[in-house]
Amino acid sequence: MLSVTILLLGMLYTLRRTGAQSVTQPDIHVTVSERDSLKLRCNYSTGGGASYLFWYVQYPGQSLQFLLKYVSGDTLVKGMKGFEAELRKNETSFHLKKHSAHLSDSAQYFCALSDTVPGAA
């Protein structure tokens, strides 16, 4: 059976560390079978201010690539490569999901939080 390995840096990663803002990725290493659904967890903590949430991917030997972002409005965000994430303020979560994982999804995934408009950080 083929399996897809997702590496997550189990670290706090923020585009701009300010105040009490942080994101937490509880899973260090996630393995799923090819064509299974994929879910990468991200919990965030805002200092109460407005914030923007992002998911980035880094494929082996490549630089960081943007997947999707939540700025405002619809809390279900569809991104690149079949990924989507739903902002759930009641759970302070912004989990990344894909319906059918592929071997080529093996990578490191980063959840990030910013209190500034994209591009300013």
Q: Which residues bind ligand NAG (CB under 6 A)?
A: 43, 88, 90-93
Q: In what order do the strands lie in the sheet with 107-114?
A: 29-33, 3-8, 107-114, 52-58, 65-70
The distance of closest approach from Cβ of residue 100 to ligand NAG in the complex, given in angstroms and rounded to an integer, is 21
Judged by CB, which is closer to ligand NAG: 40, or 107?
Answer: 40
- φ, ψ of residue 95 in degrees (nearest 5): -75, 140
Question: At closest approach, how far in Å is the CB of 117 from ligand NAG?
Answer: 25
Name the minimum Å distance from CB 9 to ligand NAG: 18
Element (H, E) at 58: strand 52-58
